[in-house]
Structure 1
């Protein structure tokens, strides 16, 4: 199968996976049910994804792919850390509050095995947070930030950026924020982060 055709087919399968997940929950979702919903063969799903964990790992990776690529590109380029956070913040906030991300988190909360939660953590947070930490550490090296506990600095940034919005989305209390809302919140989060962890003025770049 050509790459373009395979990509289209994978998107159809993954759309079907979300539909079955919403209807049956993670525990009630099977590869066979997804294959039937996608009008695909069960063999195709196993060949492409391995098993149910592999399929849902792929869903989480796809959700996180844009943010991961942005962070990796910015880290490789060695650019300004504050500018990197300005670019990445809105995209990260949008990513964790999309309907698909919320569907996965709702299903994980209802999964008594904890399997889906582990998958989301491994392919989402455990992949992205170390990259964000590298950007924040580079900000200290560049003279923007001053801190001794990198983990605390990183967790503070994420708390300022995301707060309880994702949880409120999961329980149906707030709608999905639009791009302008995400941009405004990301800007405010970065400003507050700089107030909390900004280096003394005489140490900041260009001063």
Structure 2
């Protein structure tokens, strides 16, 4: 299967999985139901993802890739780290507060075994946060921020995300608008530089 065709098929599978999670929750999700909704063979799903947990992990990785890929490109090109940080805030919030991320967080929160939460942490934050730390290392190396870089990165994430992610997942608030996310990102950056600049 060509790369473009496989990507389209993976997108159809992801759309089907998210739609079924919205209807039935993760516990009600089955590989057979996803394959039928996506008009894909059940064998393809098992070959690509292994099982339902593997599919969940792939959904998380796919969701996190939009941030990870943008960060990788900026870090490889050695873009201005301050500008990269300014671009990263709204991008990260957009990913974390998207309907897909909310669905994944709700599924993880409802899992009494904590397995989904562990997968979410590994494939989400575990993939993105090291890249954020690398960006912050560049900010420290250029004298823009005081170190240690990982502590500053964690502080920025806390200032940026706060409790928005959990409040959206629980339905306590509607996802903030792009304008609200942009304002939050600017505020987090300003506070970060007051504390660590």
- TM-score in terms of structure 1 length: 0.89
The alpha-carbon deviation at position 127 of structure 1 amounts to: 0.8
* CA apart distance, 1:143: 0.7
Deviation digits for residues 71-117 of structure 1, max 9, x if unmatched? 11111122222111001110001100001100110010001122211
DSSP 3-state at the match of 2:27: helix
Q: Is the 8 A contact 2:86 2:189 kept in 1?
A: yes
Report the secondary structure of 1:111's partner residue.
Answer: coil
Q: Deviations over 1:13-43 (max 9, x none)?
A: 1111112222332233221121122232210
Q: What corresponds to 1:197 in structure 2?
A: 196
> Larger radius of gyration, structure 1 or 2?
1
Counterpart CA distance in 1 for 2:19 and 2:66 is 23
Return 5+ residue gaps in structure 1 as ranges.
199-207
Give the corresponding residue for 2:82.
82
Offset at residue 191 of structure 1 (A):
0.9
Match runs of 1:164-175 below 5 Å: 164-175=163-174
8 Å Cα contact 1:86/1:186 also seen in 2:
yes
Listed one character per residue, the Cα deviations across residues 165-197 of structure 1 (whole Å, up to 9, x for unaligned) are 111101112222222221121111111101100
Native 8 Å contact 2:140 2:149 kept in 1: no
How many residues are aligned here? Answer: 197
Distance 2:120 2:8 in 1: 23
Name the residue aligned to 1:91: 91
* Cα contact 1:25–1:111 (8 A) shared by 2: no
Taking the TM superposition and a 5 Å limit, the aligned residue runs for 1:4-153 are 4-147=4-147, 149-153=148-152
**3-state SS, counterpart of residue 28 of structure 1:** coil
Aligned CA RMSD, in angstroms, stands at 1.5
Alpha-carbon distance in structure 1 between the residues aligned to 2:179 and 2:103: 23
Q: Deviations over 1:102-135 (max 9, x none)?
A: 0110010001122211111111101111111111
CA distance in 1, matches of 2:160, 2:40: 40
Given that 1:26 and 1:116 are in contact with CA atoms closer than 8 Å, whether structure 2 keeps it comes out as no
Distance 1:38 1:66 in 2: 22
Match of 2:161 in 1: 162
Residues 16, 37 of structure 1: 8 Å contact kept: yes
* Contact 1:94-1:177 within 8 A present in 2 as well: no
